[in-house]
Every structure is written in structure tokens, then in C-alpha cells.
Structure 1
Amino acid sequence: AFESFLRLAENRTRSLFETAYRPMAKEAAEPVKELFTDISLYILGADTTVENAVLRFFDSLFPLVYSRLINPGITDLSEDYTECLRLTRQDINPFGHYSKNMVTELSKSLWTSRMLSQALSLGTEVINTTEHAALTKECSRALVRMQYCPHCQGLTLIRPCVGYCLNVMRGCLASVSELDMQWREYISTLEYLTNEMAASHDLEMALMGIWNSINEAILHAQLNGPQLSATVSAQ
């Protein structure tokens, strides 16, 4: 489900640049793609953080905002100059508190989603392992007796009694019975994470709010454009 939310959020963010910031829309496409790729990898358990993903995006965004919106007269955005602006972003904080706010807003929701994703993957592995567990000889014999012993007397329509079935299954599942307590705890954890996502840390709301956070950050930079230009020139 989170993949569909990511696609919708990415499309909405792309639309923001195409409608409100057309001069930089084409160049902003790659940083936007990288941002949502990083978020997806984080949810899937990659060794990264939400903060790294968001700040890396704003590092890439600032050269575009500076040269296409604040100082549109800049035509030659060389690789060295772009890198200089990227590094400057970390010092002058052109997007104000909006970049950090975006980190905060996303962190809890994405962390919960990351934990849920990992828990579901683990559960799938456990189920696959137990599903293909080999039956012992004793279990196989008991299953044959339970199923076919009445046939020897011509009683093909009579089913074994419930008590006998339970005893046979207890014997067959003895090897995995030790998982019962851990499995119950696992289910409780899934319920907790699901409730967290449905409450204040809703993933869909967090992802759909990304475009607005980016928009507010860009507007802040534009509003402080003259001051930013002076600061960059002094670097």
C-alpha cells in the first residue's frame, strides 16, 4: 500500500514544480525522484535515515531555486558552482525551519511504516518456514491412522472424533509449538504498529504533505532572496 502512496505523493510534488515553478521543473525532476526513492528504501529497511533523505533533497534543490527563481539571470550553472551552492545551503539555511519541520513530520510516520514493513517480511519468512516443515515419521503414521483406519472396516464416511484429531495435531505440531508465545507477541506488535499508523502517524497524510512542505520552503527562500544573494556572494 505504501508504494501507491509514494507514487501519488511523488506525482503531486512533480505537479507542484510543473505548475508553480516551471523554470526549474525539468531540473527538479531528478531530485524529486531521488527523494521518494530514498523514502521507499528507508521504509523497506535500507541503512539510511529520513533526515539524510530530506536534507540531501534540499541540498540539490537550493542551486535550482537560487539560479532559476532568486537570480534567474544566471545561465551557466556549472558543476563546480552547483556544488558550491549545495555546500552553502548547509551553512546559510535558505529554507528556514521548513526543511527540519519536514524531517520531523515524516520521521515518526515513516519509522512506523518501516517497522511494520520489516515485521510483515519477518512474518512471511516464519510462515514459509513452518509451512514447509517436514513431518516426522510418527506424525505421518498418526495422520494415516486417523484418516484411513475406519476404511479397513468399511466405514468410509465416518470421520475421526475431535479429540483424536486434536491429539494427532498436537503431536505433529509439537516442533513448532514453542513459537506460540512469540507469535502472539508478534501479532500484538503488528496491531500496535497498525494502530500507530492509523492515528497521529498516518503515512498517507505525511506523504501527501510533502509537496506543501517543499512549497513553503521555496517561498521562504524567495522571500529572503536579496539577503541570500548577498550571503552567497560573500562566501
Structure 2
Amino acid sequence: MALEAAASVQEFFTDVGLYVFGVDVNLEEFVNRFFDSLFPLVYNHLINPDVTDSSLEYSECIRMACREVSPFGNIPKRVMGQMGRSLLPSRTFLQALNLGIEVINTTDHLRFSKECSKALLKMQYCPHCQGLTVSKPCMGYCLNVVRGCLANMAELNPHWHAYIRSLEELSDAMRGAYDIEHVLLNFHLLVNDAILQAHLNGPQLLEQINRICGRPVRSPTRSPRCSFDESKEKHGVKISARNGEETLANRRKEFINSLRLYRSFYGMLADQLCVNELAAAEGLPCWNGEDMVNSYTQRVVGNGIRAQAGNPEVRVKGTDPVIHQIIDKLKHVIQLLQGRSAKPNKWELLQSGSSGGGTPEQVSGDCDDEDVCAGSGSGEVKRTLKITNCECIIPILPLRVWFEILRIIVIMNVRNKG
């Protein structure tokens, strides 16, 4: 029977995967569809095993009668409840990861303003005209220039920090009945209970099916009866021992722990660049934009747009519309994440009057032309002085790789359960 049910099992896990990936599929419908497709097999193998080679029309009648006769009792409803509690937070978590990738890609492809480009040129290359090819800018001078260039990016910092904290809270709440891996790995137990219940109620179900669909044509050949012998489990769902370190929950925890290192990434990026690579060490002669000096005497501004009003080196006009768009998306997903993690009992998808979906709000995770992720125009990406490629600071690349790795792990875990 397991071999005959393989296609239905695969379809069920495909639907699970589609839901987690954000496709608008109806959870109640695909759970019912799975048990509807299971009933003819259970009927032919357990309830009326004397019938073989029954027509497709008769099998279809049995399938259609499933919801009327309820051969599996309340098991389908229990499955819907468990799936609802576990799939929705996983779907939300994956959507949030996609948005994290979008934020990283967007900031990695921002264009510098003309004022910023001139200031960077003056800071890095103007001393070459005086033969000072190995000189470095003064620390304060470097901070003013780079903080001015990255002022818009620094505006992301509080929202990025809250985003990571919200991801952490949701991840902590995704355990037990709210953990998709736990639910999927134990799904076979509910299926087994459902089949056993239909087996025990076989006489009543046989009478009901005969009344609804009539009696099928019998063949002299007898189908082998279904056995619950554990030695035959190799033909069905294979449940292998799980190493504690291989669980999705532990991988998710490892990801969150690494992500904590980047909570202040956008707020500290300018300082990291100057301290670790661009600027001269304190006490050494340095370039102040005009000459070699022992110290920088101009006022040093802070991070962010508001702090740039008194920047003596770079004029910052205002908030970049691309950054403003990303901030709005971060605010939206933070609200969504906090709503899920704070009220796990709200993860039930099946509410009265709903279509069985309870579809969560969609969060864009793709970086397309409408999002202006690479600026406007030709799409050419301009970089100056490898601001985001510095190998001496916390680089952007590992952060993007972490997001991609966890996203792929989520996808592969869901697919492997099928």
C-alpha cells in the first residue's frame, strides 16, 4: 500500500513546500486531498481486500465518499491543526530571510553621490599629486568623508537591529508543535493512526461504501492483506535516526548566533572602514585633505543623515529613496515577525469563515528593477575605493552567504521530508 500511496505522499509534501515558499495554496484543501486519495487504497487493502482490479470509476467514487463517511475520524483535522501551527511561522521566517537578502543586495549596489565621489577622490588620491603615495587620511577626516558617504546606509541600523532581534524571537518560538521539522518527521504517526482507525471501523465503512457506490466487480485473485508488521516498514516511510546537530532547529540557532555579530553592521560600517583600513593610526602624520599634518582639527560628525548638517567634507542632501523603501519593508516585516513570535497560538490557520489558508502578508524578497536595487539607468554598478569589499572589516559577503545557506537548508529540509 505504501508504494501505491507514494504519489499522494509526494503531492502532499509538494503542497507543503509550495505553502512554505509563499504560494497561495489552501492548507485545508491539500490535507483533505491527501486523505481522500488515501482512502481508496485503505479500502482495497484493508476494508474489502477481496476486490481487485476495481474500475477507476469505482475508486473515484470511494475517494469522493471519503468526506461523507469520515473513515479517518478527526485525524485530518488534527493534521490541519499541526500543519497550521508549524507551516505559518516557517513561511514567515523564510519570507523574512528573503527580505534580509534584498536589504543586503540593495545596500551592496547603492551608487555614491557626486559629492561623495569627489570627497573620496580628494581623500585617497589627491596626496598622490604631491608625491605622497603611501600617506593615509587622518582618522577624523576619514570618518567625516565615509560617514557622509554612508549616511543613508546608517539610517538602516536601528531597523536592521530590530529585524535581527525579531528573527531571533521568532526562531526561539519555533519549537515543538511550532517546528515544521518536528511536525513533518512525525506526520507518519498520524497517518498510521488514521489507517488503523479506518481498519477498526471496516464493517461500517464497507456498508456505507456499498450503499453509496454499489458493489464492485469481484475477481478470483485476492489482494495481499495489509500488515502492520514493523519488519515491512522499509517499504513505507523510512524514519532514520536523527543526529541532534543535524536538525533544522539547531542550524537555525547557529545562523541566529552568527547573525547577532551583524546587528550594528550598518551603524558601524564607516567606523570599521576607517579604523581597520583607510585611516592612519593615531599619532602618525596624516592627510587632512590639503596637506600632511599631525592631527585633524575639523569637527568630526556622527553617523546618520541628521548628523551630516555640519559635515565639513561631504554635503548630504537627504534620505535616499531606495533606502527609504527598504526601511519601510523592514518595518513591515518586523511587525509581522513580532506578531508571530509574541502570539504562537495565533499560528492556527483554520479560522471560521476563512478559506483554510489564513495567508500571511507577503513580503518582497526579490531585488528587481522596480525595487531599484542597483540604482536606475543602465544598471551599471559603480564602486569607489572598494568601500563594501574591504577584507579587513566585517564583510557583507559572509552575511549574504549565511542568509542563502539557511534559505537553502529550509527548502531542502522541506523537500527531503517528501
Give the TM interval when normalised to the shorter protein.
0.7 to 0.9
Q: Please give the per-residue CA displacement for 1:146-197, whole angstroms capped at 9, x wherever unaligned.
A: 2234444444444323333332222222344443443333223312221122
Point out the structure with max Rg over C-alpha: 2
Q: For residue 26 of structure 1, what is the amino acid of its counterpart?
A: L
Q: Please give the per-residue CA displacement for 1:89-127, whole angstroms capped at 9, x wherever unaligned.
A: 111111111111111112111111100111111221222
Q: CA deviation at 1:50?
A: 2.8
* Match 2:6 to one of 20, 29, 51: 29
Alignment match, 2:88: 111
**Are 2:137 and 1:168 aligned?**
no
Moved more, 46-55 or 66-75: 46-55
* Match 2:105 to one of 119, 128, 142: 128
What is the CA–CA distance in structure 2 between the aligned matches of 1:96 and 1:120, rounded to whole Å?
A: 38
Moved more, 73-82 or 38-47: 73-82
SS at match of 2:82: helix
What is the CA–CA distance in structure 2 between the aligned matches of 1:50 and 1:42, rounded to whole Å?
A: 8
Alignment match, 2:119: 142
Contact 2:85 2:177 in 1 (8 A): no
Contact 1:115 1:193 in 2 (8 A): no
Assess, with a 3 A threshold, how the Cα gap between structure 1 residues 77 and 201 changes in structure 2: closer, same or farther: same
Contact 1:112 1:197 in 2 (8 A): yes
Moved more, 224-233 or 157-166: 157-166
**Are 2:57 and 1:80 aligned?**
yes
Q: For residue 193 of structure 2, what is the amino acid of its counterpart?
A: E
1:1-235 matches, cutoff 5 A:
24-198=1-175, 200-235=177-212
Relative to its length, the structure with more helix (as a share) is 1
Aligned residues: 212
Assess, with a 3 A threshold, how the Cα gap between structure 1 residues 150 and 77 changes in structure 2: closer, same or farther: farther
What is the CA–CA distance in structure 2 between the aligned matches of 1:72 and 1:161, rounded to whole Å?
A: 87
Contact 1:116 1:193 in 2 (8 A): yes
- The normalised TM-score by structure 2 is 0.48
Contact 1:45 1:118 in 2 (8 A): yes
- The normalised TM-score by structure 1 is 0.82
Q: For residue 50 of structure 1, what is the amino acid of its counterpart?
A: L
SS at match of 1:72: coil
Aligned-pair identity (%): 52
Unaligned runs of 5+ in 1: 1-23
Moved more, 183-192 or 45-54: 183-192
